[in-house]
Amino acid sequence: MDIQPLHESDGSFNFAEGELLLIDKPLDWTSFDAVNKIKSLLRNKYKKQIKVGHAGTLDPRATGLLIICTGKKTKLLAGLQGMDKVYTGEIELGATTPTYDTESEIDERFGIEHITPELIEQTLPKFKGFLEQYPPAHSAVWVDGKRAYELARKGKEVEMKPRSIRIFYVEVIDYSAPILRFEAKVSKGTYIRSLAYDLGKALNSGGYLKTLRRTKIGEYSVADALTLEQFEFMVKHS
């Protein structure tokens, strides 16, 4: 089946038959929000329900690439979900939050005076290769028939089990204390929030994810993605 994304098409498209969309998800939108927005736009345009799904969630506090398929191309989603992903972002060292990101308030602070660029470079090799990673308690992982975040938000103790993941690389773009800017390429199932937390711990401090942007999924790039506003304009004027 042809998996040419919409931006590479000749300008003609058929959402009912099936299209592969590259969408740049905005901050504070869930992946489900983006899918619902596209469903609504297509329903209003074609006066019928068109099947829409995404190839892997992106946290509300993250921005960047979502692959969304419509119509018959939703059959491709399972294969697309398995592709490696590239992220850029910022980790704030010296503090932690319950959600490992900015969705919750800082709950503990640590010293960072001992953290140097050299120490960071010496520590990063621990986060390369095939690893066992614990997902955040505030995540969509299923625990006893419920989403982990549902239990965590109720104050219940959530026992998370480690997952086998692969981190191809984590590179420092810049370190200006306490902010570490990075790029990472990871396998399916990797939580960058957990990477931020674990890196802070490995540095004998704390860490949480301050910003995150997904730039690539496989060979698909956010540079080729449409914003939801651009997609809405295209649908309404086609």
Pairwise CA distance, residues 14 & 32, whole Å? 22
Based on the residue annotation, tell me whether 84 is a catalytic residue of this protein: no
Compute how many other C-beta atoms are within 10 angstroms of the C-beta atom of residue 84.
15
> What dihedral do alpha carbons 194, 58, 96, 122 form, nearest 10°?
50
How big is the CA angle at 128 (ends 62 and 210), to the nearest 5 degrees? Answer: 25
Compute how many other C-beta atoms are within 10 angstroms of the C-beta atom of residue 12.
6
Pairwise CA distance, residues 156 & 128, whole Å? 32
β-bridge pairing 63-70 and 207-217: parallel
The structure tokens listed for 223 are 């540079």
Catalytic residue among 10, 24, 33, 59: 59
- 75: amino acid identity, one letter: K
The structure tokens listed for 18 are 């099936």
- Residues with a known catalytic role: 59
